Chain A
Amino acid sequence: MAALTHTQNVTRLYRKSLKHLLSWAIDRRLWRRQALELRDRFDANKDVDHSIALKLLQEGEAEFERRKHPDPYISPEAPEGTKWERNLPPPPHVLEMTPDEQKWYDDVIKYGKK
């Protein structure tokens, strides 16, 4: 995989900082104020020289590691979420299905394609 560009690194840091900030804040109104402050911090340094920007990125990553949430929110349907992989339909070649199971399997596949 190709290495990420500087811009990609910065946007990823910003994105995950926002997510972890919401995990800390819980309340969206409280999070909103903190998120604006975070945005200001990123905007303040958006036109700096590349060598300084690299240093700032490193500092930002270090700060993120220090302040990240130990148990960030994961959506139930996302990987590692509480509903992830629940009742996955089996691959059709594995099982010989009864008509009821076939109906259920078709329903699940149909639902999954929506």
Chain B
Amino acid sequence: MYVLVLWLPLVSAIISGLWGRKIGTRGAGRLTSTCIILCWGVSCIILYEVCLNGAATYIQLWKWFDFELLTVSFGLQIDVISSVMLIVVTSVSLLVHIYSTGYMKGDPHVPRFMAYLSLFTFLMIVLVTSDNYLQLFIGWEGVGVCSYLLINFWLTRIRANRAAMKAMLVNRMGDIGVVLAMLLMYREFGTLDFSTLSGLSGTDAPHMTAICLLLLMGAVGKSAQLGLHTWLPDAMEGPTPVSALIHAATMVTAGVYLIIRSGPLFEKSPMALTVVTIIGALTAFFAATTGVVQNDLKKVVAYSTCSQLGYMVMVCGISGYSTSLFHLMNHAFFKALLFLSAGSAIHAIGDEQDMRKMGGLLRAIPITYVSILIGSMSLMGFPYLTGFYSKDLILELIYGRYYIAFAYWLGSVSALLTAFYSMRLVYLTFMTETNARQGSWDNVRESSRAITVPLCILALGSIFVGYIGKEFVLSNVMSPIVANGVKMIPLLFSLLGGSLALFLYVVVAPRGTIWLQGLPIYPFFNSAWQFNHVVNHYVIKNVFKFGHKVTYKVIDRGLLEIVGPEGVSKICIRLSQKISNLQSGLIFHYALTMISFVVGFLYATA
């Protein structure tokens, strides 16, 4: 039964991908959705057995390769972390599959789309159920490839091509870190198994900090943390269900999963943990400031994802792995809801994504409005909604570590900004007078059931998952004891942020002042702190120059050519010419040579 969770999505991907024309659009939708429903059912049973009955399971499927120095098997390790990840992946994937049957209606390539989604689900399951780093790396790279294929789904769009290549290349930077970390782990410990490594990590390995920092590099790339985050906003080029499944709920959390899974290693390196906290806190703050001034509905949610991933990484830095996993689970539900609701609104208003051309949708699409409102409030950490249970706990745990107070304050200010952009999103999209074009507005209506049913289910998840999940994910986490005033700070900041957004857009803006126009900070935040410009201008340009002048011209076409093929051939030609000159055909030349050698020989032996 456990193996079924792995094979069902693969089977549906193969059938839908290879025989998509035979089974048709509707057939592909039904087949893939049915397989994922079964997969979700198995995940529920696994969750029950592992989390509630405490029966962690290890299955060795086959020996992958075995030579004297390293043995790697292909196996499933299903513990609490894996089972929670499994339920997250399959739940969101199931709802996204169903949603896609409605959202992608009319697109000529639906079977291909459904095949990619299923293939992604399979590889994500490989990633979260693997029992060693090498197997995890297959899933890690596989989801990267699927992300590339899905961002580039509308492959005739140049912008989609660019975004997909950017995602692929930036992720490769992080992947190099994972590969190097695996090599170091193999050198230090001689194994790549999670269970063996967690046992061996008690020994003092000299390169533990390097291993952890390299693993962190991989996580930074995959989870879009500050420095390698630039691919995530651009990845919104893909269809909205892709954004919900891959770039909000599952693939981007793979980096966080890697840190959680490597927890025993990170615990041996306090320096790496501090770096993890710093990167997480900075990402949370940076992404929140950028999200405040975005106008594209999907980009607001994308930066919000980046910010929340920052929270997850930040809490890993203070060894709060369970809390991070809990926030990961909660975030998957409310962020998938936000993305899918955004997709529903975009779909309703003629594929318009700019919030400046929306507004007034409250009465036209009430189910979508309620969904996005619940998702936003859960994201803001509104009391007793899903986000509240993990976000507040993260900030309280961070507050308990006095030596990283900056992380607490960055996290709290990010909470304020999160509330600001959430309320701004809701106001501009639904509450203000419409600014939509006549042609778009005339056709606005609520989406089909294939779209609204997943929204309703995710809305329920965004309300209750936090309350239910804390019982089994946080069973070993002691809530820190902090003063009531401190406990209230994140909530007060959230309320302040939400109120400020409403005040600015409801009260200040209609009085005839374009208050943003004069602010020099607006272009800075809007362009994501000029990160793309800085990276392109100072890093990529110099790397290209170095690549062309040094790597290509000096090394490849210079040194290696001289020492390598060209040099060898030239030497051979010269040598052969000289040797051929010796054969002159004149008897006294040969006699002279013979005499010289004989004299030399006699002299040497004398």
Known A-B contacts A70-B523, A87-B156, A104-B108; the reply to A24 vs B353 at CB < 8 A is: no
Assuming A24-B517, A27-B509, A73-B354, is B157 touching A85 (CB within 8 A)?
yes
- B157 A26 Cβ-Cβ under 8 A: no
Q: Which residues of A contact B432 (CB under 8 A)?
A: 26-27
Contact of A28 among B21, B157, B435, B516 (CB under 8 A): B435
Asked if A76 and B353 sit within 8 Å, CB to CB, the answer is yes
Among the listed B156, B514, B523, which residue makes an inter-chain contact with A25, where contact means beta carbons less than 8 Å apart?
Answer: B514
Q: Does A46 contact B (CB under 8 A)?
A: no
Q: How many angstroms from the CA of A23 to the CA of B512 in the assembled complex?
A: 15
B295 and A88 contacting across the interface, CB-CB below 8 Å: no
Contact status of A27 and B353, CB under 8 A, knowing A70-B523, A80-B159: no
Give the CA-CA distance A24 to B108 in the complex, in Å: 37
- Which of B154, B354, B523, B526 is within 8 Å of A87, CB to CB? B154
Could you say which of A30, A34, A98 contacts B509, with CB atoms under 8 Å apart?
A: A30
Question: Are A26 and B428 interface neighbours, CB within 8 A?
Answer: yes
Q: Are B514 and A30 in contact (CB under 8 A)?
A: yes
Q: Which residues of A contact B523 (CB under 8 A)?
A: 70
Mostly, the A contact residues are loop
Look across to chain B and name the residue whose beta carbon is closest to the beta carbon of A104.
B108
B194 within 8 A of A: no
B435 touches A26 (CB 8 A): yes
**CB of A33 within 8 Å of the partner chain:** yes
In contact, B156 and A88 (Cβ under 8 angstroms): yes
Q: Tell me if A12 counts as interface (CB < 8 A to partner B).
A: no
B347 within 8 A of A: no
What is the CA–CA distance of A88 and B526 in the complex, to the nearest angstrom?
31
Given the interface pairs A23-B356, A86-B156, the reply to whether A30 lies near B512 with Cβ below 8 Å is yes
> Number of contacting residues on A, CB 8 A?
29
In the complex, what distance in Å separates the CA atom of A104 from the CA atom of B527? 40
- Tell me the minimal C-beta distance from B431 to chain A in angstroms: 12
Closest to B520 in A: A66
User: Does A82 make an interface contact (CB < 8 A)?
Assistant: yes
Best-surrounded residue of A27, A33, A75, A83 (most CB of chain B within 10 A): A27
Which residues 248-265 of B have a CB within 8 angstroms of A?
A: none
- Apart from A21-B514, A71-B526, 16 more pairs, CB < 8 Å: A24-B514, A27-B510, A28-B435, A71-B294, A71-B295, A73-B354, A74-B354, A76-B351, A76-B353, A84-B157, A85-B156, A85-B157, A86-B156, A87-B107, A87-B154, A104-B108
23 contacts between A and B (CB under 8 A): A21-B514, A23-B295, A23-B356, A26-B432, A26-B435, A27-B509, A27-B510, A29-B510, A30-B514, A67-B517, A70-B527, A73-B356, A73-B357, A76-B350, A76-B351, A82-B296, A82-B351, A82-B353, A86-B154, A87-B107, A87-B108, A87-B109, A87-B154
- Give me the interface of A with B, judged by CB distance under 8 Å: 21, 23-30, 33-34, 67, 70-71, 73-76, 80, 82-88, 98, 100, 104
**B interface, CB within 8 angstroms of A:** 21, 107-109, 154, 156-159, 294-296, 350-354, 356-357, 428, 432-433, 435, 437, 509-510, 512, 514, 516-517, 522-523, 526-527
Closest 10 CB pairs of A and B: A88-B156, A70-B523, A85-B157, A70-B526, A26-B356, A86-B154, A24-B514, A24-B517, A82-B353, A85-B156
